[in-house]
Amino acid sequence: MAFRLFVGLLLVFLFCSSVTSDKTGSDIKWWCSQTPNPEPCEFFLSSKPVAHSIKHKSQFQKLAVHLALERAVKAKGRTEGLGLQLRNKKEKAAWADCVELYDNTIRQLNKTVDPNSKHTGEDAQTWLSTALTNLGTCSDGLKELGVSEYMSPLMTNNVSKLICNTLELNKVAPSKQKYKDGFPDWVPTGDRKLLQAAAPAANVVVAKDGSGKFKTVKQAFDAAASWKGKGRFVIYVKAGVYSENVVTKAKNVMLIGDGIGKTILTGSKSVVGGSTTFASATFATGGSGFIARGVTIRNTAGPQNHQAVALRSDSDLSVFYQCSFEGFQDTLYVHSQRQFFRECNIVGTIDFIFGNAAVVLQNCNIYARKPMPGQPCTLTAQGRMDPNQNTGISIQNSRLLATADLGSTIVYLGRPWKQYSRTVYMETFMGAQITPAGWMEWVGNFALKTLYYGEYRNTGPGSSTANRVKWPGYRVITNPAEASKFTVANFIGGNSWLPPTKVPFTPGL
């Protein structure tokens, strides 16, 4: 029974709609009425004396984030307490993800309210978006491992609702802070030369033949996590095939390989094999400021094992340059935060670029490969849960290609995984494998009115929009000003944090 209540608490959450107002006052009921979810707001704030003296919107906004944080801490504590009561392997796997994801949600909310944290409104919206995405990921894991049958429709996850409220309130807070000398907080100003480092400047070298300090990639990232030095920790991985699953939360790490197809990290975890999608990644990075260059990351589980991630990134302000991500279903999990991919290869079958980060893929090669018989290919499945999340997938100046075995398989540009799914293709070559309709439904009419799917000045035999879907949320973008919202400069604020990485990028159209 306890686990059933746990699942009910974690699974059911409501998505939000926008409400704005400039009126001020001290009435809790009135203030909460300005949010998408007034009921839990009013219920939890009524018992707090400080809430009865609200005079300004900024006060209410801070109080709303603190409230979400307080409820998240309580929810995590209840979730942790259920661990000893679980016996089923799948229940334990889903539970472990949820504990980790609640912990990350608490970290994101803490950063937002930390008085010593210098951040912009865009930073806060990114962290709040991540906090909400984490709870959705917890829910997804419960469903895919088959424990959602215990869900009680009478239970609701008030943490999700309260975070939705903060997203609505924060979106009107303009950003005025500037990054000092073009660097965000996580990049030391003396780090420019190190960011260009190759093997000689590496902190540690990994080599299967024993010529480095370590023989496994995991050992190197363990060393990075315990490192007490300043600046960036550089890991050079020599050519070879490294069969291991690596999960790291170390900050300011740079992973350098000998190039695509030479330095290879490979694993085979999958949902059919008993993992959640979240935990199936061959390589997962959560520490801010992660950079990877010249590596291949694979998941070899195969199309018959369904969701099986090669790379999962939860790293804010992360960069992947001249890398390859190879798998089948769910190859590249751009889970959350702000990310940039340049000159990378992504290979897969179904939903193989997915997640709820704010991400730009630029000058990349995206290969559809043969799925299970009778299945189509879907390139993207974007997971925006709330209209105020600043997330989406932007694919610019890239190439949509096919592997030799694809045959006559139908290929779609994407489908809406979540209610406010947002994906844009700009200035990209689309091969003949792209079906004339372009996009695929998730199920029935779900999200067709609330999604945002756009195409702008694409080329190639699959780029014609003459027979595209007629959904309310789909649009052919003709105005450069509309398209520019999804560029590196505007969508992920790349002019602020990409220059010191020395990775080339195009800031606009």
Instruction: Name, in order, each residue with C-beta under 8 angstroms of 309's C-beta and a sequence gap of 6 or more.
Output: 269, 277, 278, 280, 281, 282, 284, 299, 327, 330, 331, 332, 333
CB 393 within 8 A of CB 422: yes
Q: Give the span between the Cα atoms of 328 and 269, in whole angstroms.
A: 12
The owner of tokens 């996850």 is 157
44 touches 73 (CB < 8 A): no
* Distance in angstroms (rounded) separating the CA atoms of residues 359 and 336: 9
Q: How far is Cα 293 from Cα 448, in angstroms, rounded to an integer?
A: 37
Burial of 131 (0-12, 13-18, 19+ CB in 10 A): buried
Do 137 and 278 contact (CB within 8 A), yes or no?
A: yes
Q: 314, 351, 386, 405: which one is catalytic?
A: 351
Scan for tokens 């991400």, then name that residue: 359
Residue 296, both tokens: 């291949």
Q: Is 351 a catalytic residue?
A: yes
DSSP state of 177: -
What single DSSP character describes residue 375? Answer: P
Distance from the Cα of residue 477 to its chain's centroid: 25
List 439's β-bridge partners, or say none.
414
Q: What is the DSSP string of 338-375?
A: EEEEES-EEEESEEEEEES-EEEEES-EEEE---STTP
DSSP state of 280: G
DSSP type of residue 462? T
> CA 133, CA 386: separation in Å to the nearest integer?
9
Measured distance CA(3)–CA(289) in Å, rounded: 37
For the chain, the residue count is 509
Q: Token digits for 287?
A: 């520490």
One-letter amino acid of 126: T
Contact indicator for 81, 98 with CB cutoff of 8 Å: no
Cβ contacts of residue 412 below 8 Å, gap of 6+?
376, 377, 378, 379, 434, 435, 437, 438, 439, 440
* Assigned token pair, 2: 């306890």
Residues 485/464, Cβ–Cβ less than 8 Å: no
- DSSP, res 461: T
Give catalytic residue positions. Answer: 351
